[in-house]
Amino acid sequence: MDWSIVADALPKFALGLQVTLALLAASVVTGLALSIPLAVARVSARRWLAWPVLGFTYALRGTPLLVQLFMIYFGLAQFAWLRDSLVWPLFKSAWFCSWMALSLNTTAYTTEMLAGALRATPHGELEAARAAGMGPGTVLRRILLPGALRRALPQYGNEVVLMLHATSLASTVSLVELTRVARDVYEDHFVVTEAFGTVGVFYFVLTFLLVGGFRLLERRYLRHLAPKRAGADLGMKPA
């Protein structure tokens, strides 16, 4: 194991790490923001709202992310009206296309997750809210969404970890994130362990941090589901 190669390539690794984290953060934020209204539409009783969203999630969950990425990065160049438009510089960039593909993909998965969580709302909560006189908007804001986000938290943590792994696909459209740096270092020195092993360790640590972070969030937001510790005093005095 040649540590000098690793040391020399450290600036490259740092840059790749930056790009990976930026891509992950941007995609996760966009995905979550888009998926909340889509999830509400998905569980709506109005079929004209629910079915298009179902079509969207079915298409995006049923096809590989790599294909979706290629469609956006390579595919959209086919359209002359896009090439001549003002937004073309955006669609030429690997970062923008990777962000778009990842965001759409995570939107689809998160929408289904949140839709399931919304459907799992205990009916009593809904009844009580309506009995208290809350309008549909207020019920959504104060009862349905907080509950659903809480319920979906463990699954969502998993999804964010999968998103981290998905950022490595951006290397195939020449975005210089961690996996691309690994390939570059390999192609420079033909050393597998130093190149791929180091990047593997980076990803592993990031995964570990994400899982830990979500576990902390779960401890805070799903505290009511945690097992009661032995001897927990409920504050009741003996008779």
- Candidate residues 5, 6, 197, 218; the one interacting with another protein per rule CB under 8 A: 197
User: Quick check: 37 binds another protein (CB under 8 A)?
Assistant: no
User: Quick check: 68 binds another protein (CB under 8 A)?
Assistant: yes
Tell which positions 163-192 bind another protein, by CB under 8 A.
Answer: 164-169, 171-172, 179, 182-183, 186, 190, 192
Rank residues 4 and 78 by Cβ distance to another protein and give the closer one. Answer: 78
Give the chain as a DSSP string. --HHHHHHHHHHHHHHHHHHHHHHHHHHHHHHHHHHHHHHHHT-S-HHHHHHHHHHHHHHHHS-HHHHHHHHHTGGGG-HHHHTSTTHHHHH-HHHHHHHHHHHHHHHHHHHHHHHHHHTS-HHHHHHHHHTT--HHHHIIIIIHHHHHHHHHHHHHHHHHHHHHHGGGGGGGT--SHHHHHHHHHHHH--HIIIIIHHHHHHHHHHHHHHHHHHHHHHHHTGGGSPPPTT---SPPP-
Nearest distance in Å: CB 62, another protein: 4
Rank residues 138 and 193 by Cβ distance to another protein and give the closer one. Answer: 193
Binding mask 202-221 for another protein (x = CB under 8 A): -xx--xx-------------
Question: Which residues are near another protein by CB under 8 A?
Answer: 58-59, 62-68, 70-71, 74-79, 164-169, 171-172, 179, 182-183, 186, 190, 192-193, 196-197, 199-200, 203-204, 207-208
